[in-house]
């Protein structure tokens, strides 16, 4: 039995409409409505979106306003975002930021990298702008990952029931859970988005190889600068080995730019892998990645050793998935990536495509309740067939 929950249901009576370019005038127009809705109650606010995007800073300001507390120190209202026709650029970021994100079937989403429009460029400004764009793309990829991590993992958990079928198609080829998951995703994507998925998979392989090369260097007793220098040397050696068959390849001809990108990417990943973030991730989602035997072993382990054992068993399983997830979020910040609503669900960008069976996201679980016993049914209802 499905019992509607307002946390998953758009409500036009408590809604704002982001239509057109996201700019200061739009925020000024929407602010009184947002303040009114927040003063009335802490019930969810629906944000309907049909926008080509706009200024990222303005979108961020709008999002912060939507998430404001009140003088009673009550938590922010849940935000339900709904794309009605198109959500591009900053509007796509706004859509993904929702606590529950939906789109109508005909909706298109567009993701691309940071852009700066300048009339005059010099060598100095070009170098500075390139660095700024790189940092902006990295920031956006990190923010996107933060917003959609739970949606992406939800898709992984739901897809696990299909892994046995995927493996049965080619029993001679051993497949990891990550490979099975990507196969499930690929079967449900549009042809255009399959290319994006493949790009992310190739990048995942590159990241994994890079990390193996970098992690071989010893960090014991070294300063931060020495550790970074060791990583740079490892990346240089990796690039030389990877491109030894290409006689025209040089660091000056593009290799140095890639080295720079890889350095910052690996630093971020290695820092997070050595921090509590990945352990918390494994503790939160690990139980869904285990097989029955390992799950039973973990369940029998007393606390606090139970959590440590869970992380120990799960980390090798989930780390490849996290590397792919990181690659995907960065690929979305490159070029022009137009997605269908269905694509967006399978990549974890949104929760649900409205009116499409099987793509209800967390709502299918959050609203489910067991049917009441027969004796609790109203007198005028019967479970007997006529």
Out of 334, 351, 373, pick the residue that ends a domain: 334
Out of 291, 310, 334, pick the residue that ends a domain: 334
pLDDT digits 0-9 by tens, 342-370: 999 999 999 999 999 877 778 888 888 88
Q: 289 near 245, Cβ under 8 Å? A: no
3-class state of residue 15 by DSSP: strand
Same-domain check for residues 321 and 360: no
Q: 110 near 340, Cβ under 8 Å? A: no
Same-domain check for residues 254 and 202: yes
**Backbone phi and psi for residue 249, each to the nearest 5 degrees, phi listed first:** -75, 135
Q: How confident is the model at residue 385 (pLDDT cuts 50, 70, 90)?
A: very low
Any domain includes 70 = yes
Query: Which range marks the domain in which residue 195 is found?
Result: 173-334
Same-domain check for residues 252 and 330: yes
Q: How many structural domains is the chain composed of?
A: 2
How far is CA 47 from each of CA 19, 62, 82, rounded to the nearest angstrom? Answer: 10, 11, 6
Same-domain check for residues 96 and 224: no
Q: At what angle do helices 123-159 and 305-331 cross, to 10 degrees?
A: 130
Same-domain check for residues 224 and 105: no
Looking at the predicted structure, is the pLDDT value of residue 101 above 90?
yes
Same-domain check for residues 283 and 366: no
Query: What pLDDT is attached to residue 270?
Result: 66
Same-domain check for residues 194 and 272: yes
Alpha carbons within 13 A on the beta-carbon side of 329? 24
The pair of three-digit structure tokens given for residue 79, joined into one six-digit string = 């935000």
Query: What pLDDT is attached to residue 91?
Result: 97
Same-domain check for residues 181 and 323: yes
pLDDT digits 0-9 by tens, 170-213: 888 899 999 999 999 999 999 999 999 999 999 888 888 888 88
Same-domain check for residues 296 and 208: yes
Q: What is the CATH number of the domain that holds 4?
A: 3.90.226.10
**Which residue is it, tokens 């099975």?**
180
Any domain includes 211 = yes
Query: What pLDDT is attached to residue 380?
Result: 54
**Which residue is it, tokens 């600068």?**
225
Strands (E), the chain: 15-19, 45-51, 79-88, 100-103, 108-112, 336-340, 352-353
Question: Average pLDDT, whole number, for the chain?
Answer: 86
Any domain includes 11 = yes
Q: Report the 10 Å Cβ neighbour count for 126.
A: 11
Same-domain check for residues 10 and 50: yes
Q: At what angle do helices 191-215 and 305-331 cross, to 10 degrees?
A: 120
Instruction: Give the closest residue to 55 by CA, choosing from 25, 17, 78, 82.
Output: 25
**Separation between Cα atoms, residue 145 and residue 12, nearest integer Å:** 29
3-class state of residue 234 by DSSP: helix
Model-level pTM? 0.84
Same-domain check for residues 96 and 242: no
């Amino acid at each position: 039995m499905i019992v509607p929950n307002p946390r998953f249901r758009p409500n036009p009576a408590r809604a704002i409409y982001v239509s057109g370019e996201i700019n200061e005038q739009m925020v000024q127009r929407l602010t009184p409505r947002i303040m009114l809705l927040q003063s009335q109650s802490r019930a969810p606010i629906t944000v309907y979106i049909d926008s080509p995007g706009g200024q990222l800073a303005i979108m961020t300001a709008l999002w912060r306003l939507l998430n404001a507390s009140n003088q009673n120190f009550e938590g922010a209202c849940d935000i339900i975002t709904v794309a009605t026709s198109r959500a591009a650029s900053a509007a796509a970021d706004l859509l993904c930021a929702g606590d529950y994100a939906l789109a109508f079937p005909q909706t298109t989403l567009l993701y691309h990298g940071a852009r700066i429009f300048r009339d005059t460029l010099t060598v100095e400004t070009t170098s500075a702008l390139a660095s700024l764009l790189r940092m902006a793309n990295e920031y956006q990829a990190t923010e996107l990952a933060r917003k959609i991590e739970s949606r992406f993992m939800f898709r992984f958990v739901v897809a696990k029931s299909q892994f046995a079928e995927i493996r049965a198609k080619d029993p001679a080829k051993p497949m990891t859970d990550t490979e099975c998951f990507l196969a499930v995703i690929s079967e449900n994507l549009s042809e255009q988005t399959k290319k994006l998925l493949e790009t992310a998979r190739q990048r995942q392989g590159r990241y994994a190889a890079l990390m193996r090369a970098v992690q071989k260097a010893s960090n014991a007793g070294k300063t931060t600068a020495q550790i970074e220098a060791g990583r740079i040397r490892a990346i240089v050696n990796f690039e030389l080995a990877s491109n030894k068959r290409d006689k025209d390849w040089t660091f000056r001809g593009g290799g140095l730019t890639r080295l720079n990108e890889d350095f910052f990417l690996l630093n971020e990943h290695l820092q997070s892998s050595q921090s509590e973030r990945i352990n918390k991730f494994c503790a939160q989602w690990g139980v869904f990645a285990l097989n029955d035997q390992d799950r039973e072993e973990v369940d029998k382990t007393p606390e606090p050793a139970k959590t440590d054992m869970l992380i120990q068993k799960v980390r090798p399983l989930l780390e490849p998935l996290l590397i792919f997830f990181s690659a995907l979020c960065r690929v979305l910040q490159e070029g022009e990536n137009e997605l269908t609503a269905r694509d967006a669900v399978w990549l974890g960008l949104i929760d649900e495509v409205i009116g499409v069976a099987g793509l209800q996201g967390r709502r299918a679980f959050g609203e489910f309740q067991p049917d009441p016993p027969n004796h609790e049914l109203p007198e005028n209802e019967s479970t007997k067939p006529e």
